[in-house]
Amino acid sequence: MKIPDAFRVIPERHSDRRGHFYEAFRARELSEAVGHSFSVAQVNCSVSRRNTLRGVHGTVMPPGTAKLATCVRGAVLDVVVDLRTGSPTFGAYDVTELDEATDVSVYLADGLGHAFLTLTEDACVFYLCSAEYQPGTMIEVNPLDPALDLPWNLSEPPLMSDKDRVAPTLAEAAAAGYLPSYKQCQALYRQLRVAGVG
């Protein structure tokens, strides 16, 4: 993707008269592609009504959390936002439509933010996470921040949690000092590279 350390994962689909099969995740291949190890510590499942807007969510460093997100039912407009202060792409975003028909996934390294808008009823997104959830470590940035100008193309007000609705803008979050730094994230990626993938 245009944001460093974010990747689209496009599996090879094998179809026949019964349906289709694909490998959604293979640790070694993903780790080689992203340049550092990715191990799964927690799996989350999000089921949402149409026009639900979730995010922008990230995790403070440490502990950080890398994610592999896949829409296994319905369709979502998935957005990755660079939350790393000092990054050459700080505040930039990348958009991918994830749906059950294409099997595409999105990988986000530690320090990147994630949001999505559900395009269908009963959309289901699975996340493979590199760390277990720790209360008090979540970062929320308002997905309707006018400065971010994320391309939701809303025709009606979205369904949002109260926490997301009142979340700070990216500038406010940066000024408060709770966003991860690009330098912190690069140091972690190097550590993971040494520990996992040459």
Residues belonging to the active site:
57, 127
Rounded Cα–Cα distance for residues 49 and 27 (Å): 31
DSSP string, 99-144: ETTT--EEEE-TTEEEEEEE-STTEEEEEEESS---TT-EEE--TT
Phi, psi at residue 93, to the nearest 5°?
A: -135, 165
Closest CA to 33 of 5, 66, 13: 5
In Å, how far are 45, 111, 168 from 4, measured between CA atoms? 26, 11, 24
Give the Cα separation of 177 and 171 in Å (integer): 10
Tokens 């991918």 identify what position?
A: 96
